[in-house]
Chain A
Amino acid sequence: MTTPLLEVTDLKIHFFTDEGVVKAVDGVDLTIERGKTLCLVGESGCGKSVTSRAFMQIIRKPGKLVDGSMLYRFKKDDGTDEIIDLAKLDPKGKPIRQIRGQEIAMIFQEPMTSLSLMHTVGQQITELIRLHTGATKHEARNRAIEMLQRVGIPKPDRLIDEYPFRLSGGMRQRAMIAMALSCNPTMLIADEPTTALDVTTQAQILDLMLELQNDYGMALLFITHDLGVVAEIADDVAVMYLGKIVERSDADTIFNNPKHPYTQALLRSIPKIAMQRDELEPIKGMVPSPFRRPVNICQFQPRCNQRFEACSRVEPVSTLINENHSVRCLLYEDVAAVHQADTEAVAHG
């Protein structure tokens, strides 16, 4: 195994609302490798977006990073590595600001609203370039035009002076990608970048991103709920459910040999071409309200079709199936361990 670019351990992000504390991210472990693509998959509200925002320390209020470490391997100019714990950086401080945009860049879901409509595309891209490279206005502009060209925007020298509201959704997302890549980031986070686009544009943007990743060699953290997309681009996959990673492996394993009942259910719920319509199987039940998530038991248990008696008593821990495949489910835990936890629960009960 190569040394990971980013190693996240026990990340916890809680939202302190008037109604109570929402544990949006509750002990996430992840590794992202240099130049590889990791897909973070889950239903909406499972905490995948919040997790990715944590890497740049741009969690929104009232969310707060309460625990965990995010070790980022920063390659210094002299070729040696320096390990930075992103979790320890002040969200308003200079160190994290130097990482944002330059080391780690991000593309957001809504190209309509994530670009400012009051500034031209060029203003928004050159601002980033000048901030991190110290380029002159002219150099930054040339670089921006070059990037716009690279992402397939026609007549980039004219389009650079356009306002985003005059561009189509696909063009806007391309501009967004051009902006994100303009400082050659080591890692790119894409938070459902194709969800708001129509299907044809989706495919084009995906192809573009894969192509750019090949060219620039950056690591890609791709957040999506669309398993079709995952199949197309992922090297590794992490499946998230209610603030926890429930299964994690390489893409092949996830698709061909999923272990967690949730992953299996997810896979059954997507249509395949050779499938009859009635074979589709939606996951039954709903994601519980954030204020009444089950505690200290298996979170997925109420919706699980393979649950057994222990599931409503014991909280599963992450279990290694093999060195490249971990799953958080009692089905795969050492029976003895489960039993031990059982007796402990009795003792406490």
Chain B
Amino acid sequence: MDMTVHEQAVVLGMHEESELKLEVATQWQLTWWKFRKHKLAMFSGGVVIFFYLVAIFAEFFAPWERTQYIAEYVYAPPQPVHLFDDGKWSPHVKGLTFERDPDSFKKIWKIDDENKIPITLFAKGAEYKVGLHWMPVPYLNDLYFTTSRHLIGAKDPTQPMYLMGADKSGRDILTRLIYSTRISLSVGLVGVGVSLMLGITLGGLSGLVGGWVDNVIQRLIEIVMSVPDLPIMLAIAASVPLDWSVIKVYFLITLVIALRSWTGLARVVRSKFLSLREDDFILAAKLDGAPQSRLIFRHMLPSFYSHIIASLTLALPGMILGETALSFLGLGLRAPAVSWGVMLQETQKVAVLALYPWLLWPAAAVITIVLAFNFLGDGLRDAADPY
């Protein structure tokens, strides 16, 4: 009998503890618990992190150097990876040979079964720096180390290894794809930063001040939303002088893309502020004599950080797509900058694409990251309302 009572007490006690945890959990914890349940969103989050890691450590992930090319391997097809040789562990790719088409003198590539090029993980290749060397800050930019290891590569770095084929100049598609993630993914981040500032400022003003300010900002948002953005973006992008530096073009394009996505965020912020103004805890803080700025930054904004993050995550894919589309049309970034859109420019001619379909690999990267961001954003949005 004692046992039963004791057992029950234990059970009840445990319950109470978990209940207690639930009662004191912060909004972040609740959001996280709810988010964890979305398996797809979790997985997508992993994909997104992986892409950004690739972008940050592109030198390591890319088998080749950024601008490296072998002129004779123009439009070389992908070389499939073989892990075993005669049943023995010996990862290698097959070499390539070519014949000239007698009519067009085009190279016709063949897999050379005799020529086995051994490949390995952590292969030795071109040297590169890892660290803060790129920072324009003295002393800080001394913090780096030099290495020549690449995630994967031919044991003999002079041998060709085109895992995804080569482009029109004999450059490795995979390497370019990896370096492209830097621009393609950071355009989204910088763009999101810009639209975040615009969205929170204008949406916040709209929701907090109200009155004619609200009215003007709402009209502005309506106008921006009803203008078909692409022609305007094209017009602005077309006006970029040819002698502009890559960095300048990059920021202009980012700005152009960001200009169309702040409206959604501004609306979210505004409606949140409007509803929060009436909320009890804000009223309580107000009655406590909290100053306006404290009210906004300590109480109001934190209560919908999660919403903002979700909206931003959902805005990112649009920006990535925007940059890709502009660059694809030749109005965005230009060589020597390399982004997925720039790479896809080569596919504009369907005849070229039909001969060398591996040029379409950047499309797969675009679709993957956009899907991942969408799933992630959806999961975040669901989790943003943990109650």
Task: Give, as a whole number of angstroms, the nearest-CB distance from A242 to chain B.
Answer: 15
Say whether A292 faces chain B, with CB atoms less than 8 Å apart: yes
Say whether A80 faces chain B, with CB atoms less than 8 Å apart: no
Say whether A149 faces chain B, with CB atoms less than 8 Å apart: no
Task: Give, as a whole number of angstroms, the nearest-CB distance from B11 to chain A.
Answer: 9
Say whether A21 faces chain B, with CB atoms less than 8 Å apart: no
Contact B12–A313 (Cβ < 8 Å): no
Give the residues in chain A near B4, CB-CB below 8 Å. Answer: 313, 345, 349
Say whether A120 faces chain B, with CB atoms less than 8 Å apart: no
Say whether A256 faces chain B, with CB atoms less than 8 Å apart: no
Contact B15–A292 (Cβ < 8 Å): yes
Within A200-254, the residues touching B (CB, 8 Å) are none
Contact B19–A292 (Cβ < 8 Å): yes
Say whether B97 faces chain A, with CB atoms less than 8 Å apart: no
CA distance A346 to B16 in the complex (A): 26
Task: Give, as a whole number of angstroms, the nearest-CB distance from B22 to chain A.
Answer: 8
A349 in contact with B19 given A292-B12, A312-B8 (CB within 8 Å): no
Cβ proximity bits A271-292 to B, threshold 8 Å, 1 near / 0 not? 0000000000000000001011
Task: Give, as a whole number of angstroms, the nearest-CB distance from B30 to chain A.
Answer: 13
CA distance A18 to B8 in the complex (A): 24
Give the residues in chain A near B37, CB-CB below 8 Å. Answer: 18
Cβ proximity bits A312-341 to B, threshold 8 Å, 1 near / 0 not? 110000000000000000000000000000
Contact B8–A349 (Cβ < 8 Å): no
- Among the listed B1, B8, B15, which residue makes an inter-chain contact with A346, where contact means beta carbons less than 8 Å apart? B1
Say whether B3 faces chain A, with CB atoms less than 8 Å apart: yes
Task: Give, as a whole number of angstroms, the nearest-CB distance from B12 to chain A.
Answer: 7
Say whether B351 faces chain A, with CB atoms less than 8 Å apart: no
- Among the listed B1, B5, B19, which residue makes an inter-chain contact with A289, where contact means beta carbons less than 8 Å apart? B19
CA distance A294 to B37 in the complex (A): 28
Centre residue among B3, B4, B19, B37 by max chain A CB count within 10 A: B4
Cβ proximity bits A80-114 to B, threshold 8 Å, 1 near / 0 not? 00000000000000000000000000000000000
Contact A313–B15 (Cβ < 8 Å): no
Cβ proximity bits B1-31 to A, threshold 8 Å, 1 near / 0 not? 1011100100010011001000000000000
CA distance A313 to B3 in the complex (A): 12
Give the residues in chain A near B3, CB-CB below 8 Å. Answer: 349
Nearest residue (CB) in B for A292 is: B15
Contact A313–B19 (Cβ < 8 Å): no
Centre residue among A18, A294, A313, A349 by max chain B CB count within 10 A: A349
Give the residues in chain B near A294, CB-CB below 8 Å. Answer: 12
CA distance A346 to B1 in the complex (A): 5
CA distance A345 to B12 in the complex (A): 18
CA distance A312 to B4 in the complex (A): 10
A349 in contact with B1 given A289-B19, A292-B19 (CB within 8 Å): yes
Give the residues in chain A near B19, CB-CB below 8 Å. Answer: 289, 292
CA distance A337 to B1 in the complex (A): 18
- Among the listed A18, A291, A292, A312, which residue makes an inter-chain contact with B5, where contact means beta carbons less than 8 Å apart? A312
Task: Give, as a whole number of angstroms, the nearest-CB distance from B13 to chain A.
Answer: 11
CA distance A349 to B7 in the complex (A): 10
- Among the listed B1, B15, B16, which residue makes an inter-chain contact with A345, where contact means beta carbons less than 8 Å apart? B1
Task: Give, as a whole number of angstroms, the nearest-CB distance from B313 to chain A.
Answer: 24
Task: Give, as a whole number of angstroms, the nearest-CB distance from A344 to chain B.
Answer: 11
Nearest residue (CB) in B for A291 is: B15
Give the residues in chain B near A313, CB-CB below 8 Å. Answer: 1, 4-5
Give the residues in chain A near B15, CB-CB below 8 Å. Answer: 291-292
Centre residue among A291, A292, A313, A345 by max chain B CB count within 10 A: A292
Give the residues in chain B near A312, CB-CB below 8 Å. Answer: 5, 8
Within B19-77, the residues touching A (CB, 8 Å) are 19, 37
Nearest residue (CB) in A for B19 is: A289
Task: Give, as a whole number of angstroms, the nearest-CB distance from B2 to chain A.
Answer: 8
Give the residues in chain A near B12, CB-CB below 8 Å. Answer: 292, 294
CA distance A319 to B4 in the complex (A): 26
CA distance A345 to B1 in the complex (A): 8
Task: Give, as a whole number of angstroms, the nearest-CB distance from B366 to chain A.
Answer: 35
Within B71-121, the residues touching A (CB, 8 Å) are none
Nearest residue (CB) in A for B6 is: A349
Give the residues in chain A near B16, CB-CB below 8 Å. Answer: 292
Give the residues in chain B near A349, CB-CB below 8 Å. Answer: 1, 3-4
Give the residues in chain A near B8, CB-CB below 8 Å. Answer: 297, 312
Within B223-269, the residues touching A (CB, 8 Å) are none
CA distance A18 to B33 in the complex (A): 13
Task: Give, as a whole number of angstroms, the nearest-CB distance from B59 to chain A.
Answer: 45
Give the residues in chain B near A297, CB-CB below 8 Å. Answer: 8
CA distance A292 to B16 in the complex (A): 8
Nearest residue (CB) in B for A302 is: B12
> What are 10 inter-chain pairs, A to B, with CB distance below 8 A?
A18-B37, A291-B15, A292-B15, A294-B12, A312-B5, A312-B8, A313-B1, A313-B4, A345-B1, A349-B4
A312-B5, A313-B1, A345-B1 given; name 11 further pairs at CB < 8 Å: A18-B37, A289-B19, A292-B15, A292-B19, A294-B12, A312-B8, A313-B4, A313-B5, A346-B1, A349-B1, A349-B4
B interface, CB within 8 angstroms of A: 1, 3-5, 8, 12, 15-16, 19, 37
* Closest 9 pairs (CB-CB, A-B): A292-B15, A349-B4, A346-B1, A349-B1, A349-B3, A289-B19, A292-B19, A345-B4, A312-B5
